[in-house]
């Protein structure tokens, strides 16, 4: 990540720290009894609403699986100065979240951390989505 973006991240951590927010579609889709911790390289970042998606390649025992990770809304990110190009492919992330009930390589994210320990954003459908 570039320096400019890091300051954005710090602001985001302050705003969103500790918010593991979701809704009943979360309850329907993701299983709180299936926590996952993943490390992988970004293949794509999809800015969308009400959830953005980060795709990462996770290697386990020589086999690479592409995980789809559901995160906060694009508009919340845009309002904090994020651009679509700010999470380039190849960036290594450590992700905590909950796996989909159907067992697919899909998870709802609670925290995203860079290899140096800095946190990205957290939470799925954020209730207040503060704009300022």
Give the residues lining the site for another protein (CB under 8 A): 20-30, 32, 47-51, 53, 70, 73, 75, 78-79, 81-84, 100-102, 106, 125-132
- Nearer CB in complex with another protein: 4/115: 4
Least distance in angstroms from the C-beta of 75 to another protein: 4
CA dihedral 88, 91, 96, 98 (to 10 degrees): 50
Least distance in angstroms from the C-beta of 66 to another protein: 15
Least distance in angstroms from the C-beta of 24 to another protein: 5
- Nearer CB in complex with another protein: 73/91: 73
- Nearer CB in complex with another protein: 84/92: 84
């Amino acid at each position: 990540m570039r320096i400019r973006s890091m300051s954005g991240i710090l602001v985001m951590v302050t705003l969103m720290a500790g918010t593991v927010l979701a809704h009943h579609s979360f309850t329907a889709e993701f299983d709180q009894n299936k926590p996952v911790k993943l490390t992988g390289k970004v293949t794509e970042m999809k800015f969308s609403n009400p959830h953005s998606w980060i795709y990462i390649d996770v290697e386990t025992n020589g086999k690479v699986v592409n995980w789809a990770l559901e995160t906060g809304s694009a508009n919340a990110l845009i309002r904090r100065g994020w651009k679509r190009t700010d999470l380039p492919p190849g960036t290594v992330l450590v992700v905590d979240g909950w796996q989909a009930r159907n067992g697919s390589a899909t998870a709802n994210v609670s925290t995203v951390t860079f290899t140096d320990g800095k946190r990205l954003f957290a939470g799925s459908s954020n209730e207040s989505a503060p704009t300022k």
